[in-house]
Structure 1
């Protein structure tokens, strides 16, 4: 779930924002301080927590700042460009920009990029890039022209990949868009043509991007109101060739298609994106957060004073112009899950922000995956492969993947494993999966802090593993008390030993409700057991399936039960465990076992946990008896035979213990009444069956006397 917090207005010095807004907002060397460059002559250093400026610098009259000021993280100095070619460098002690270091360059500058881990990079309007140190050593050096005539830079961003900077910038010419990727460790410049993949062209109004080790995920907000994604290789196999990549629709109609100004988009994390614009043609501007994995609107805040269509984000803070003031809106994005995306998780919400529910047709949504964490991206990659001009995503071989498991980060392994599992399976697929699990578990033993649960969940869901192939997998899950993985193993592995099943049962019964609340557990086998209509019928003493909880079936125990009839009614209407714990216990009920091997392990269950499990089984039996079909609702619920078998197993293994527990007395009496009532029902059914057989014989004898007949006997 994502949320927008209360906004902060930065005031103190008026901002000279022009018709196109500010030039930029950039971070400084301190986390809470940011450089704000207006569209005129001033650079202001703000401290967000104090909501006031720490310093302000202006160029002299007649000069215009043409490039946002940035901080050189290696030296702590500030850099800005005015009049397209004049570069200035200063620090906090300087007051007058006219007296600080000055360098006049030979070509016009489009943007200066500065991030941690590398020197500032200067991007010229002609498309060439220079490092700051090399540029200062020879300011008048010749700058080559990379772009063609009429080609204009629209957007640019820099990333750190493998400790080396990678620069991407987007250009436009005659309605066509191009992406340039500059790598500095190999000094390669690659060019890509962005194809829409649709018949109608749309104008790209705003860009944002994220990067992993192999791909740059470029996202654009187009004039049709949709957000599109393009995957661009970080290190292409043929850098000298002009390649083509295709856009795929990521989100449809997030803003009004008629909004030509005031729109922006920014990536917040792997699954969330911020959008600035008008959601409907006649509505006011809004700032909203979307979950791109589940295609749902998570949070929205109206901006009645209007914006400049610019959006910046740093350290969980969104920056924008709201009216004439620079506004900061903190945001929070939790780990993406379907429950969180649909607003089913508990969260704290500020009055200034409201969550708008958004419902999606999952069958028709583009590339919508509900499986692994990045299935949507994998599907988009697969769609891209269908186009001949698209870029083929690089997928590691099994040997390369096993090598990556030994050394790479957990996140990188997860991404590469997802890509590997998306390819067509070969005849030795089960052997490869076994090797992958062995590699992951082997590293878990060497590095205690390494626990790639998402990777292990992916390989379990391939349905090619069993307990015999990877017994250590369940052992690790038991050691970590990972109930979600244990539930999946019980559902997928057909050969789990009885001792392991009992170990899972002990964890399911002992884990706290608080821990379960924070765990993502599949509860499809659990339905809403509350049924007031049936409860009222029980109170009216209507016999259902031959059982009446108030009927006098146990002469020696009725006095005590009648005195506590209210408690008995409460037992029949409330489930003794939470839905998540019930789902885990249902996985135990569905597991295969042999009674001889299971009974010895059931004797080790603590008395309080044993009682809890018996109470839950008794509750399920009550619900079955209330239903005419003697079944439970839901998807793959426990059957009546499974419920009865486990009640017998627990009582056989722990009868002495149960008898000695005072709290178990009423439960045993109720179970006895149930058994006795069911025996009576089956006895009456047998009598009815015998009566029908006798009637059938009489009818057959009568027919045989009156008519000639031929009987055909079928031998099976």
Structure 2
């Protein structure tokens, strides 16, 4: 029971100490590989609320910088930080109340606004915890939507078609609201800012007819148009619009799979006749007799849109699809299936697409290049099919009288070459031309040649003066090498892989199989380089590397070529200069001597540390540098914890002993970190101790050999908590000194007694 109590206290105080210093664990950052109009990486932001186990799409999603405000179809609004994939705050209305309007953020005040039960408007800030205590206003009419625009007060659109500025509405919440769209139902709305004015557009439906309303401010102008019905029997499902040159371009997607474009002018017309807006067919989706259901459109840029929805085929098979289309050339750029189904909702903010997929809200990163005819018809191929997408031309070296057409298989001239050299290059012999490799040629060599030849050719390729589209080229070569490793068990070009990683132009997402192959081959050196340079390694791979590092013997590691920069001044000192450690003065309020329970209030004194057998590093320098690489890796605690449970009890104890040793080293040093190129901070060490205790709490308590370790951890943490407590007292004293009135003139020399 004593061990159990120590473990609980150590874990709790480790968390306390970690947060007391104001630093947080590192967060995973992803780097997107360069691709043509396509989907890139994706991850799950959160789980969606559902009724009866069925996924239920959110009521709305609004962006606020790197954060999104998610409103579900019930009582809850949640604020998420997208880069960290974690919630920052959650608010709920009372039981029996229902949110009927998606929450938005007022960019001017930083406040959040929502409407529940159609008429009750609430405004709160991020530090508010209870919506019952925030501002409320009951309006006189039902609200359809609130639109938030930058540098402008939010606009409130009522179900009757009236639009009010939020400030004007809050001045008199019970003011009468006019009914503009009588007997019509609003289906969609959006707002745009143009200079100091705004334009709000909404679409209504009545008896199968669609009407378009446009309201502008300063001066107040309201326009009404009728949308051309046409001869088809399909119905409009979703809309999207953008403003350009005083014309709103409206995109309408119908259940037949046809996407139409409608131009809505913003100029005022004195004509009293009802204006009918013509629609022109933009894209006909290939649905082959299927019917579209639950769809939405997201505008990515002026030439690309994303469409998500479900296809209901005649045999009753409903499939979810997500695609990117080029509306300039009417071509499909990328497509993917959503096997878990979708509610057909999609939002686009920056380079991220938010899509409902099954019971989850998925974030998909995308990238679109400038639209060109070559890209639209597929003449510019993706790098994954062994060709370079574009060939850069250095216009600085081309003169008006000497224009040279660069071909994909020709090397790019180095910057600063004269026209004479460029002209002479045309006469270079065939032998010289063969010596300068292109990516296409090198990929062919990798496919058919031996390992020695590949290493020689790769070295020649990387030594070139300039390589077109360097990052994409290196990623393509790396993928080709890894694919050959997977298909041929005897092929493993370690030197080639290390050379490519050392170019520092790669990431895990560019070749996810690389580290899996390295783990299979137990290539510790390559794993170390990847952990040091790749910013987007998943937690499951990080834990797999940790297991490999802990299980390999120190004698085997001594034979490997590893960089020991991360243990410089740490492990080497312990093994080579113990006397220096023994005479070192204790700093930073740390003492390794046992603290008695009744000595909590005793004065901290500096004492010499006497090293015992347990203070020696439990691993060798090679294993220590590998473990330090793991400690410096970016991670998300939510995703890391489940995989840490795969460690064996022996591995956990060894890792905890090493973390305890590092904790002692950091606590002795007043700089709060360890020396070396890849330094560790005390917060990183404490966070990993907490993670291990959380993942293996029961196992550690039951192991007899862990009791002494837990007891020492408990005493170390208590010493640090006491030290921080003393610092807090000093801080309070200094604050009191700062508040004292300073004398106007104390002369050249004076002595004062200040009483606190």
TM-score by length of 1: 0.50
Instruction: From the CA coordinates, give the structure whose radius of gyration is larger.
Output: 1
Larger RCO (alpha carbons 8 Å, 6+ apart): 2
